[in-house]
């Protein structure tokens, strides 16, 4: 029982990060139908920028939490600029091109960003300085740290805030309108260029936040870290129904928990016939089964209401 609880805690933390990254994919897809494969790299750049800021401030004598806050802030701003730049340079000129063209461009941008990061931050693993003094708590035989609590709470707050933004503000209304029909939204006086740029900017800000979480959780960063994370988050978005925000959140959490439980129990369930190296297969199997019965994902029934 305590093992199950521990696996759920592991999965929840991982899932919260997946969910935040998945939101970045889903917002962009919801509005312009593009899978922004460079999003994982935006997350990575966020981690790296935060790392640089934190390291350069580490000796200044400021309180660690303030340093972490500044690092996070700079990373978020840097990623917002990066997200805006990506949209402006790589995707906007291709907005009316066939669907595959921007997709390939996205893959290209992903490789470019990885290599740029390798040039700037080097090819070695970077130790992310632990700014939060890790406390380990025990609960029912399972242990978790204050960092994990912070990740889950922060992710929940951000998701609530984002839901409010999309459902209750003028910007959110413009986003939903653009998602439903770009041309009609344009005719109604919505500045769709601005709305699309906003989707990239907000998605990238969430990515930066997720990157800082990953950095503080695992305490390492690497220029290729965004790739697998991005792929998992994309899977989470598809699982929940890509284009649907609630779907991305649910998909992320679900994928995190499935992965943890898969690695923890697949061996026992199959009498050690399948070991923990099948954990990713387990996650993708669930995805395939879901897609067989609900081809547009768990929450993806109404394609009109995508943002």
Partner 1 sequence: MKDARIPGVLIVLAASVAMIGCGKKEEPKAAAPAPAPAAAPAPAPKPEMVVKIGHVAPLTGPIAHLGKDNENGARLAVDDANAKKLEIDGKVVKFELLGEDDQADPKTGTVVAQKLVDAKVAGVVGHLNSGTTIPASAIYNQAGLPQISPSATNPKYTQQGFNTTFRVMANDIQQGSVVGSYAVKDMGAKKVAIIDDRTAYGQGLADEVEKAAKAAGANIVAREFTTDKATDFKAILTKIKAKNPDVIFLGGMDAIGGPMLKQIKELGIKAKFTTGDGGCSPELIKLAGAASEGVICTQAGLPVDKLPNGQKFVEDFTKKYGQIQIYSPYSYDAVMVLVDAMKRANSADPVKYLPEVGKTSYDGVTGKVEFDEKGDIKNGAITVFEIKDGKLVTLKSEGGTVAAAAAPAAAPAAAPEAKK
The residue with tokens 């998945």 is: 22
82-86 contacts at long range (C-beta below 8 A, 24 or more positions apart): 82/42, 82/45, 82/204, 83/42, 83/200, 83/201, 83/203, 83/204, 83/205, 83/207, 84/197, 84/200, 84/201, 84/204, 86/36, 86/38, 86/42, 86/200, 86/204
Which of 196/238 has CB closer to partner 1? 238
Per CB under 8 A, residues contacting partner 1 are 2-3, 6-7, 10-11, 14, 33, 35, 37, 103, 107, 110-111, 114-115, 118, 123-125, 127, 130, 134, 136, 138, 143, 145, 214, 218-220, 222, 224-225, 227-228, 231, 234-235, 238, 242-243, 259-264, 267, 275-277, 279, 284, 287, 291, 295-297, 300, 303
Give the shortest CB-237-to-partner 1 separation in angstroms: 8
Distance CA 109, CA 9 (A): 34
Q: Which of 229, 193, 220 is nearest to 37 (CA)?
A: 229
Give the shortest CB-278-to-partner 1 separation in angstroms: 8
Give the shortest CB-220-to-partner 1 separation in angstroms: 5
Which of 118/171 has CB closer to partner 1? 118
Which of 71/297 has CB closer to partner 1? 297
Q: Which of 219, 227, 222, 72 is nearest to 154 (CA)?
A: 72
Which of 26/80 has CB closer to partner 1? 26
- 232's torsion region: left (phi>0), alpha (psi -120 to 50) or beta? alpha
Which of 134/168 has CB closer to partner 1? 134
Which of 123/168 has CB closer to partner 1? 123
Which of 122/161 has CB closer to partner 1? 122
- Work out the number of other CB atoms within 10 angstroms of the CB of residue 119: 10
Give the shortest CB-275-to-partner 1 separation in angstroms: 5
Give the shortest CB-263-to-partner 1 separation in angstroms: 3
173-206 burial code (b ≥16 CB/10 A, e <16): bbbbbbbeebeebeeeebebeebbbbbbbbbbbb
Give the shortest CB-270-to-partner 1 separation in angstroms: 14
Number of H helices, E strands in the chain: 11, 4
- Work out the number of other CB atoms within 10 angstroms of the CB of residue 154: 17
> Tokens representing 20?
């935040």
Give the shortest CB-170-to-partner 1 separation in angstroms: 26
- What is the widest separation between alpha-carbon atoms in the chain? 62
Which of 14/21 has CB closer to partner 1? 14
Distance CA 111, CA 230 (A): 13
Give the shortest CB-9-to-partner 1 separation in angstroms: 8
């Amino acid at each position: 029982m305590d093992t199950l609880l521990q696996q759920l805690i592991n999965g929840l933390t991982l899932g919260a990060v997946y969910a935040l990254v998945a939101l970045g994919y889903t917002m962009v897809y919801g509005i312009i139908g593009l899978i922004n494969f460079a999003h994982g790299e935006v997350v990575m750049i966020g981690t790296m920028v935060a790392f640089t800021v934190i390291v350069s401030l580490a000796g200044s004598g400021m309180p660690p939490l303030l340093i972490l806050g500044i690092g996070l802030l700079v990373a978020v701003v840097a990623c917002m600029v990066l997200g805006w730049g990506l949209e402006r340079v790589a995707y906007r000129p291709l907005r009316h091109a066939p669907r595959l063209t921007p997709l390939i461009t996205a893959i290209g941008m992903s490789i470019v960003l990885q290599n740029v990061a390798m040039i700037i931050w080097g090819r070695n693993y970077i130790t992310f300085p632990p700014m939060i003094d890790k406390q380990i708590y025990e609960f029912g035989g399972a242990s978790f740290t204050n960092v994990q609590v912070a990740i889950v709470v922060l992710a929940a707050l951000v998701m609530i805030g984002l839901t409010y933004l999309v459902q209750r503000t003028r910007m959110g209304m413009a986003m939903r309108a653009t998602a439903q029909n770009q041309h009609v939204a344009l005719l109604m006086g919505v500045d769709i260029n601005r709305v699309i740029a906003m989707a990239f900017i907000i998605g990238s800000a969430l990515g930066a936040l997720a990157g800082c979480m990953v950095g503080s959780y695992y305490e390492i960063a690497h220029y290729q870290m965004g790739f697998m994370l991005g792929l998992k988050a994309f899977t989470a978005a598809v699982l929940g129904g890509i284009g649907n925000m609630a779907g991305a959140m649910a998909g992320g959490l679900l994928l995190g928990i499935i992965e943890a439980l898969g690695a923890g129990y697949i061996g026992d369930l199959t009498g050690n016939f399948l070991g923990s190296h099948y954990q990713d297969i387990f996650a993708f199997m669930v995805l395939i089964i879901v897609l067989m019965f609900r081809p547009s994902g768990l929450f993806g029934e109404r394609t009109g209401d995508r943002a």
